[in-house]
Amino acid sequence: MQKKSRIFVTGHRGLVGSALIRKLRAEGYENLLTASRQELELRDQGLVDQWFARQRPEFVIHVAGTVGGILANSLWPADFIYDNQMIQSTVLQAAHRCDVQKLLYLGSSCIYPRDCPQPIKEDYLMTGPLEKTNQAYAIAKIAGLFSCVAYRQQHGCNFISAMPTNLYGENDNFELQDSHVLPALMRKFHEAKLASHPEVVVWGTGTPRREFLHVHDLASACLFLMKNYDEETAINVGTGTDVSIGKLAEMIRDVVYPSAKIVFDTEKPDGTPRKVLDVSRLHRLGWQHKVDLPEGIAVTYQWYKQACLA
Ligand SMILES: NC(=O)c1ccc[n+]([C@@H]2O[C@H](COP(=O)([O-])OP(=O)(O)OC[C@H]3O[C@@H](n4cnc5c(N)ncnc54)[C@H](OP(=O)(O)O)[C@@H]3O)[C@@H](O)[C@H]2O)c1
pLDDT one-digit tens code per residue, 63-109: 999 998 778 888 999 999 999 999 999 999 999 999 999 999 999 99
Ligand 1 atom with the shortest distance to the CA of 43: 31
> In 10 A of CB 56, how many CB atoms?
12
Rounded to an integer, what distance in angstroms lies between the CA atom of residue 109 and that of residue 101? 26
Give the type of residue at 202: V
Identify the pLDDT of residue 271: 76
Rounded to an integer, what distance in angstroms lies between the CA atom of residue 57 and that of residue 6? 5
Report CA-CA distances (Å) from 168 to 70, 152, 239, 291. Answer: 16, 31, 13, 11
Which protein residue has the closest C-alpha to ligand 1 atom 7? 108
Which protein residue has the closest C-alpha to ligand 1 atom 10? 63
Burial group, residue 93, by CB count within 10 angstroms (0-12, 13-18, 19+)? middle
Q: How far is the CA of 151 from the centre of ligand 1 (A)?
A: 22
Identify the pLDDT of residue 108: 93
Rounded to an integer, what distance in angstroms lies between the CA atom of residue 171 and that of residue 124? 31
For the chain, how many residues are written? 310
Q: How far is the CA of 67 from the centre of ligand 1 (A)?
A: 6
Ligand 1 atom with the shortest distance to the CA of 164: 6
Q: How far is the CA of 197 from the centre of ligand 1 (A)?
A: 33
Report CA-CA distances (Å) from 286 to 17, 164, 228, 258, 276. Answer: 23, 17, 9, 38, 20
Q: How far is the CA of 295 from the centre of ligand 1 (A)?
A: 24
Residues 6+ apart with CB under 8 A from 99: none
Structural contact between residues 66 and 83, judged by C-beta atoms closer than 8 angstroms: yes
Which protein residue has the closest C-alpha to ligand 1 atom 19? 14
Which protein residue has the closest C-alpha to ligand 1 atom 36? 11
Whole-prediction pTM: 0.95
Structural contact between residues 304 and 227, judged by C-beta atoms closer than 8 angstroms: no
Burial group, residue 17, by CB count within 10 angstroms (0-12, 13-18, 19+)? buried
Ligand 1 probe mutation, 10, 12, 37, most atoms within 8 A of CB: 37
Residues with CB under 6 A from ligand 1: 11, 13-17, 36-37, 41-43, 63-67, 83, 87, 106, 108, 164, 166-167, 173, 180
Q: How far is the CA of 255 from the centre of ligand 1 (A)?
A: 27
Q: How far is the CA of 199 from the centre of ligand 1 (A)?
A: 32
Which protein residue has the closest C-alpha to ligand 1 atom 39? 13
Rounded to an integer, what distance in angstroms lies between the CA atom of residue 302 and that of residue 310? 13
Residues 6+ apart with CB under 8 A from 160: 102, 103, 104, 105, 148, 225, 229, 230, 231, 232, 234, 235
Ligand 1 atom with the shortest distance to the CA of 40: 33
Identify the pLDDT of residue 284: 98
Q: Read out DSSP for 222-271?
A: HHHHHHH---SS-EEES-S--EEHHHHHHHHHHHH-TTPEEEEETTS---
Ligand 1 probe mutation, 20, 67, 86, 104, most atoms within 8 A of CB: 67
Identify the pLDDT of residue 57: 98
- Positions marked active-site: 137
Adjacent-strand bridge partners of 161: 105
- Residues in the chain with pLDDT values less than 50: none
> In 10 A of CB 20, how many CB atoms?
27
Ligand 1 atom with the shortest distance to the CA of 64: 24
Structural contact between residues 218 and 237, judged by C-beta atoms closer than 8 angstroms: yes
Identify the pLDDT of residue 227: 97
